[in-house]
Structure 1
């Protein structure tokens, strides 16, 4: 039986994650090509497309990085295919080069870029607001605030993109991606066959002579889309009162809850902007003329606020517009915060913030999973190099090597930067550098770093942490895996061959749970100069259980001879280990049987699982 997300069952209602609702919306639009690079909070969108792809009528791929993903989707839309490309907000930085040009070239088949922004940095290195990318490139923007809107906007946005031949940005935030809500399905007709590419070099080849008229056509498209925004049901005015509120994205839900809580709905007029770019200037101007004061509620940057200020100034309106002077420019909003900003504008007393008295809870610093092979690599590196090396880290679960006792992340810039930035640091300072990078990140953007390091004769020891999957974002496949959730990978790429093909001559491969060999390889490579590579190869234990259907037959236990020195805990920080009665102990349920601890302390032994 096909997944309900694929069924042509209009009128059915399902409880969906926001990201699942986006998938359904794309299916209703007739999606034909989906590409991605996974990244929280967007990951469930491509993962769902991947899971249901055996029954779907679309092509899906996990691309090696966001730039490639958008280029594949861009080529598909030029062939007339309705296409979607998904990524987290920082991924748009990687994809920015083709994105800016795609806005000129256009999207004949329709092209939606899902940018999942992350106010509050729940799982990201920054809080950037990608509505600014849309203004920079010239893209219409839809911003859902509920699961139903996530579905509807995904559908309508793809159809709108195809109608105008304009790439469109669906801007979500973590709170929208991961909420759950009822979603009423619409029709899901089978997608037709793409029309195919039609040669038209002046429209599709952006040499300077063609780019100049392309830019004019882009501006004309945006003006036509402004008219769509003026009449869009996603932009609506509700309520009455001389105090106005303008809100977009998830902030619309915060405003609705705040007004409901405060009982102030009859005192304010609200303009909701679900279709926020291009700004519906006539609707906004009429709104500004109807109120005395405006509060703009939008997370992160004052994008709409500044556009409204410009609109008011151009039209000679004397109106007070408040926004980032009363609401923060960083982090997520909450209902109480928004309610108090509204109350302040209306001269009402603020509601107290919750000051709950809770018992002090034990600290739970982020930690590598029990049985994670990265722990073995990091432990060996600390044993060999200690503080004599600078550790260049990268994006992935292995960044959790940051904290004591492993302490193997001294700096980090972005995906793939460990090799390039590590080489730069070594060139500038002459210090010993060990650069850690995961297998998925290596294929994402580490290959060019290796090529650059070899070409420029950098002195860097690169450690590729090959756990056979893209672990942090949910075990998605990468070009190096041999198995995936839905079957074998027929074309796995060999990391060692790739590294040697890029000119690295000193390459060693080890199992990081074999500490003797791992330390010996690190000592040997550490004594060399130039670019050299250690591949620490061992599957993620969670992935091993899920995909390989294997579990180690043994677990560790602490012998009676334990002296209570706690070297095992203090050196490894494995979450399967704890203190009990003045001695170390192992939780057999959490233990994955890697036996790393056995190599660290002679008082730890192995026994058959379940005995």
Structure 2
């Protein structure tokens, strides 16, 4: 039986996650190629395409990183295929090189880049606003605010990209990606290539002489797009009066709720922008010239606010524009309805509309992110800390293992971006003269760690690299990567060996261990510690969730505490496995979460042995 996203008929209404609605919109557009690198909040988009791929009429791949994903997608679009490439906002940094050039040369088949931004840093190392990236590169931008719009805008953006032969950005935010709402389906378009690929080096090979011409063509094309999008149904102006509001993205939903709650619908002029680049200048100028005061609601940077200020100055429009810094409107984090009501009330001189913010009762226990019970990273961290202690600095990377920052493990001293642990660790070691241990996950190693290893070997750096190989891309949902043995679709016949890659990079000293075997891991770490140069430890054991879901492994035993001794308390304090529970009268192990890895037993014995040795 076909999946509902594929089998749904025109007029059907489905309750969809925002990310699922994006998938349906692409299917309705007749998508032919989907490439990605997974990353929250975008992950459900490619994961859904992956699940549907056996039934779908498109090609799908989990690419090695975002740059590769956009290059494969760009190549497909150059070959005539309607293409969607997905990533989270920081992934666009990785993909920036092909992103910029694709705008110059164009995409005959059509290409939409999904940038899932993360205001508030729910799962990211920054909250950059990629509307700025889109303006730098010259990408039209669609910003949905409902599940219905997520579907409709995805379809529209893909079809317009093919029509314009220009790449388009679909910019979402965490709130939109993860909301759920009713979506009315439309008729899917039958996938069809844009035609026979064209051989035209004077367009598609941007040597300087070509690039200069193509840049001018891009600017001309963007003005044509601006004129066409001026009449877009995704931009709407309603209401009357001498006070105006301009809202973009998810803020349009907050504005609607605030107007409802303040009984202001129709009493203020509201301009809601779903297509925000190029800015619909005529529509915006009409609003600015018809009111005395305008409030701009946009999360992130003052992108639209600054463009409105420039437009008002250019056209000599005397209007007061309120934005960042007014009534608590900030460049930080997410907006919400309460904040919008307060800003509207202050701008209009209405009585305070402040209402208590939603907050969890103080009595509820806090639950910070933590490494899972039975996570092999915890065992690896424990051993490395026992060997190196505080004498070393620990260079971390992006993945589940970043949670090693938490005490008592405390195994992260600095972090920049995906794949940075090797290169940053090398620079830190060179500058400080301190020993550095760099941690990187298996997926991140393939994503962007390899070039750092090559650089480290070539430049004779001194570094211990620990590759935490848990057989999957765990943090974003268990997606496959080139080094996995088994995927959800079965055995990976094209598995790439991490040992082989390290050897090819010139790393001569490599040890592979199961980190759950603390004795063997300790011996390997101590041996590598006494060496110099670039050397590597591969700590290989499946993620416990991957082992259950994909490998079919289930716990066959659980640890227990026969009596609470000093070694038990010390184990709790140094290992901090979440299956341990402190209860009145002692410590117990929660059998419902214990995976039976027995690392705690080894730690307890290790502590006892060290105490005997000290005596």
Aligned to 1:607: none
Aligned to 1:455: 458
Aligned to 1:497: 500
Deviation at 1:351, TM superposition (A): 2.0
CA–CA separation in structure 2 for the residues paired with 1:21 and 1:486: 24
Distance 1:401 1:372, change over 3 A: same
**Matching residue within 330, 339, 342 for 1:340:** 342
Aligned-residue CA RMSD in angstroms? 1.4
CA–CA separation in structure 2 for the residues paired with 1:267 and 1:286: 17
Matched, 1:89 2:89: yes
Matched, 1:550 2:553: yes
Deviation at 1:367, TM superposition (A): 1.1
Correspondence list, 1:228-307, <5 A: 228-307=228-307
Structure 2 unaligned spans of 5+: 608-615
Deviation at 1:290, TM superposition (A): 1.4
Deviation at 1:602, TM superposition (A): 4.4
CA–CA separation in structure 2 for the residues paired with 1:389 and 1:443: 25
Aligned to 1:101: 101
CA–CA separation in structure 2 for the residues paired with 1:75 and 1:213: 21
SS for the counterpart of 1:55 is coil
Mapped contact 2:379–2:518 kept (Cα < 8 A): yes
CA–CA separation in structure 1 for the residues paired with 2:380 and 2:96: 34
CA–CA separation in structure 2 for the residues paired with 1:519 and 1:474: 30
Deviation at 1:224, TM superposition (A): 1.1
Deviation at 1:352, TM superposition (A): 2.6
1:326-350 deviation line (CA, Å, top 9, x unaligned): 1111110010101110111110122
CA–CA separation in structure 1 for the residues paired with 2:4 and 2:190: 14
TM-score calculated relative to the size of structure 2: 0.97
1:386-439 deviation line (CA, Å, top 9, x unaligned): 001000000000000001110100000000000000001111111100000000
SS for the counterpart of 2:353 is coil
Correspondence list, 1:140-539, <5 A: 140-193=140-193, 195-326=195-326, 327-354=329-356, 358-539=361-542
Mapped contact 2:395–2:415 kept (Cα < 8 A): yes
Aligned to 2:13: 13
Aligned to 2:79: 79
Aligned to 1:586: 589
Deviation at 1:489, TM superposition (A): 1.6
Matched, 1:51 2:51: yes
Mapped contact 1:8–1:189 kept (Cα < 8 A): no
SS for the counterpart of 2:53 is helix
CA–CA separation in structure 1 for the residues paired with 2:412 and 2:361: 33
1:18-73 deviation line (CA, Å, top 9, x unaligned): 00000000000000000000000000000000011000000000000000000000
Mapped contact 1:558–1:585 kept (Cα < 8 A): yes
How many residues are paired up? 604
Q: Which runs of 4+ in 1 moved over 6 A?
A: none
Mapped contact 2:82–2:193 kept (Cα < 8 A): no
SS for the counterpart of 1:507 is strand
Aligned to 2:603: 600
Deviation at 1:276, TM superposition (A): 0.6
CA–CA separation in structure 1 for the residues paired with 2:123 and 2:253: 22
Mapped contact 1:558–1:603 kept (Cα < 8 A): no
Mapped contact 2:387–2:522 kept (Cα < 8 A): yes
Deviation at 1:241, TM superposition (A): 1.5
SS for the counterpart of 1:264 is coil
CA–CA separation in structure 2 for the residues paired with 1:27 and 1:16: 14
Mapped contact 1:8–1:188 kept (Cα < 8 A): no
Aligned to 2:580: 577
Distance 1:561 1:217, change over 3 A: closer
Deviation at 1:564, TM superposition (A): 8.0
Mapped contact 1:229–1:276 kept (Cα < 8 A): no
TM-score calculated relative to the size of structure 1: 0.97
CA–CA separation in structure 1 for the residues paired with 2:546 and 2:107: 38
